[in-house]
Structure 1
Amino acid sequence: MILYDELLDEQGHVLLPHGTVLTAASIAQLLRHGIESVSVQVAGGAEEPEADLAAVEQRLAHLFRKNDIDDQNDWATGILRRYVEDYRLKRGVEE
């Protein structure tokens, strides 16, 4: 099985990146840490399933919850937020 999306902890840190091959040992490790389910890619599927945009937007809001979009003094975080949003929401990304 291949991990469909990155696996994050409660603070938003990446535990396993997108595309990680899940082995029996890694699945057992996840279970020991209380992780009972993850999203995996469909075997043989050429197309990835459509991302749930509302869930992605909610996750991004959580990750950048300490960033005020209108704060001109925190321009670097604003730029990072825009790049991450564009990537995750597939805006302007050619495949």
Structure 2
Amino acid sequence: MNKHYRYLPLSKVTPGTVLADDLLDKVGHVLLPAGTTLTERMLQAIAHHDIHQLPVESDMSDAEDDTENLATRLERIEKIFRDIGDSEPACMLKSYVINYRKGEYK
């Protein structure tokens, strides 16, 4: 089974979950490296760093999980680009990011 990752809200992450990517603080310092198995104490400490979601490993075995993960990523893209207005370069970048997330660019 292939390992994938997805972003989960901190409130839904449970002890025993494995980080899929390095966890960075606001200035880019590594708080926890990728592959760390999270404990209850770590989750409490993460909350104090104003981190709201984590990239976690996931065994995605069915299309429903993939669809949910894609929907979450697309929502995140909409949030990131919410204030771009009619700026053509920003709209083009948003389009490229959406296509990448949909798997159209590899």
Task: Call closer, same or farther: CA 1:51–1:7 in 2, change over 3 Å.
Answer: farther
State the partner residue of 2:57. Answer: 41
- State the Cα distance separating 1:55 from its structure 2 match: 2.3
- Cα RMSD between the aligned structures? 4.2
SS in 2 for 1:41: strand
- State the Cα distance separating 1:51 from its structure 2 match: 4.2
In structure 2, list runs of 5 or more residues that go unmatched: 1-17
Distance in 2 (alpha carbons) for counterparts of 1:86 and 1:31: 35
State the partner residue of 1:21. Answer: 35
Task: Call closer, same or farther: CA 1:31–1:21 in 2, change over 3 Å.
Answer: same
Distance in 2 (alpha carbons) for counterparts of 1:80 and 1:8: 24
Higher RCO (C-alpha under 8 Å, 6+ residues apart): 2
> Any conservation in 2 of the 1:87–1:93 contact (CA below 8 Å)?
yes
State the partner residue of 2:80. Answer: 63
State the partner residue of 2:92. Answer: 79
Distance in 2 (alpha carbons) for counterparts of 1:15 and 1:87: 27
> Any conservation in 1 of the 2:19–2:54 contact (CA below 8 Å)?
no
> Any conservation in 2 of the 1:56–1:89 contact (CA below 8 Å)?
no
Matched residue pairs, number? 78
1:50 lines up with 2:66 in the alignment: yes
TM-score of the two chains, using structure 2 as the length reference: 0.47
Q: Percent identity?
A: 23
